[in-house]
Chains A and B, each alone.
Chain A
Amino acid sequence: MTGSMEIKRRTRRELLLHDALAFFVLTLVTAALFVMTLFLFRSFTNHRAEEARAWTAKGQQTLYAGDAEDAVKAFRIALTFAPGTPANELLLAQSLAAAGPTHTEEAYNSFLGLWDAHPGDGQINLQLARLAARRGDPAAAVRFYRAAIDGRWDENGAVHRREGRLELARFLIAQHNNAAAREELLVVAGNWPRDEAVQGEVSDLLAKVGTSQ
């Protein structure tokens, strides 16, 4: 009986040792695996960051050089390496818009995507207005022009709003909607009474409205 108890006690001790050793080995394996994973992860994230930087620089270079097609390609690649970078998303959409009629639809979609996240952004609304005009959708164009005028601008908000309103007026004239165009022009003239350049431009456009009437 005592012998059997002793065997059991020894067995339990051995089993405890076995389990402790097993967990020690598991801890070592975990540590080794962690180091390996960290190395792989660090090396790859660094690689991605470098690629994103390089392609963004290339995109900006080509966009300023007037090669919008190549800029589109570069910004797309930059975004695959650094998804969700707001500056690159905007630059891609602008490149698409600048790349001509073949990319109008993609540009419009890109700006719509940005608009979903920033519906009050003046720049995005203005771009959408221009693209909607290019797509032959005057109702959407007017809606986006107005949103751009009322929207948020990071700097020179007053100037951007004035330019946006003048652009809307020109668009309305082109659409033969002279009454609405006149209203917009009168608002601009009222807001900038001492700016001779603006007054001159408004006068020219008002004259155009009058002539076409």
Chain B
Amino acid sequence: MIQNADLFSIAKTGINASSRLLNTTSNNIANINSEGYVRERTEFTSRLNGGVDFGFTDRVFDVFAQNQLRRDTSLVGEAQAFYDRVEGLDRILASEANSISQSMTRFFSSIQTAADDPTSMPARDAIMGEAGGMLNRVTQLGDFIKSKEAEAELQIQQSVDRANDLINQIGDLNEAIAVVSGSSVVDTPSQLLNQRDQAILDLAEIVSIEVRNSPNGGSGLTVNLTTGESLVMADGSFNVFAVGGEPDFTNRELTLRTSFNSPTKGESSINIREESLGGGLGGLFKYREQVLEPAQRSLGKLSIALADAVNTQNKQGLDYDQQLGSNIFNIPEFRAINYPSNSDLSLGVKGRITPGSGADVSNNDYRVTVLNTPAGTPPTFDVEVAALKNNGSPQLDRDGNPITQTLTISAEPGVYNATIGGMEIEFARGSDYATGDSFLLQPAREAATSLSLATTRAEDWAFASPIRINGSINNLGDAQVTASRASNTVVDTSFANPNASAFDGNGGLQDITSSPSGSFGAPVSIRFTSENSYEVLDNSSPANVISTVNSASDLTNLIDQAKNSGTPAWPAEFSALTDYPGYDLSLQGRPKPGDIFTIEFNTNGINDNSNAVALGQLQQMDFVSQSNAGNSSRATFNEAYSSLVGFVGSAAATADVNLQAASVMQAQSSDWFESTAGVSLDEEAANLIQFQQSYAAAAQILSSAQEMFNTILAVAR
């Protein structure tokens, strides 16, 4: 090796080197609290002809630890976002005061108390109060969930904006680093690099990403989503997230849109699967799709089922004003959402829950598609109704097949066509609908927030049965009435409604002039001709025999038996209606020939509590559908609510465990990264002393060189 550098230059390089080392060390010490700072080290090699070469300052870190930290940060971001949101729901369900279960129990309790004393007005007022209170609880919880939904949408928007900022920033930094890298050979643009790494780490918290070196070589980094779509590309251009929602614009969905900003390349957009996003955004979407929307729909389903059950039972009774019972709760209608590809976006479809079908309502959304062009007057056409999950994918039944129904619609204003899922839909615009038009119906979504009381009058509670059965005092047998029930009280004296019953709407039962059949009035009495044969009579005088039953096997549901096996056959006009006359009775005991039992309207029968007892029994009955896949398992109201609580609770518990696990992992990888990249003050302190000494030593060379030079000069003089 040839060493022919002179002492001066060696000393100079030595001083420079030590000076640089001191510089680096001081930089490390000063920046110990800077976020994202990675410690730097300067490395020197010796020069061929003596002295120290320029050296290279570089950051010290373990790239594997860094990647691991990014992955774990994504996991924590996802778990944290999910947990924070779910915890809010969990907390609200924990509060006793909000407990819907308690208010439901109090409601039914108040009904039972009133059933014990049906004429007491204070007891009826109490029920109205409890019903209002229960409705408040439900709508409050519904509103809370709705506001959480809006909040989640806002947060998605915010996260998307932040992610876009970061993506832009990374792209800019890539360019800047490329420029600066070229301009210096002694160090890397460490500040820019740290900034870029910090931006990448922040982005990793929002979405799950993978970072690679640019394929062009050089200092650029490309950033992809873990699912493969690229965010920051090699040539500095990038994709940004866009938020839209189809068809429900309030439900945001993500796409990636390019922003080449180039005259030659056109922009394009890619759909992304939100559930595999990871990071905070992924957590938000998972929360919305797996917890928030199902919880919202379960609550809606429960409130529909409860309101419908109470309404139906109340309509089977007689209220304090001696009128047939009416609706207590108002289950509002819902409007369909147009798919953007529809021919005319001003077309609408309205839906409502079919009265009496509250138990068929599930959590599903429904897409209704027009299959052929409307024809005829009134216009009719076929539609397909398909059940969807809340994320838009088809709901499958037990066998894995999509749940669909094809039916023919009569498209007129005011005509509601019944479909699966307990709802009925109205196509009001007749022939304006075109083939291929699709509409999205979400019956259970808004139900909890928009339920209301249809009446506040305590007299509207129908506790009595609308009919009463009187055994004639002259009866010689010992038959007693065991059951009398009214199953249908729909009043329509024109019989245009196929559900019309025998109640004339005026405090009585139909006679021969007002019944659908011209030859008979409504059946109002049973006359026994022997112990097990009887005639069904109307209320004309003399009474017409509508039908006779011979050798009845038992005395239950006497009118039904006459419908099915009476001679002559039950009048066709009666059978044409779905449930006419809408009441029935059962006896037990042994009647003697000549015994008569009369059915009459329960005028002044205000002490009758039979419908009140039935209303109280609703608490025990299974009215809430438990499955979206179409099987018929049902649960009581309280069971449905407790399974909602359990669902949210276990989601929160799982989220908590996931968060803790992810936090531990992140702590570990952070420690690992920190152990190579972090500044240790003690180490830097030792370095300071070391480099001070080497600086002093190098400076000493200079003075030695100077002394040598002086010595030579002194010799030459």
Partners in one complex: no
Which residues does B use to contact A, with CB under 8 Å?
none
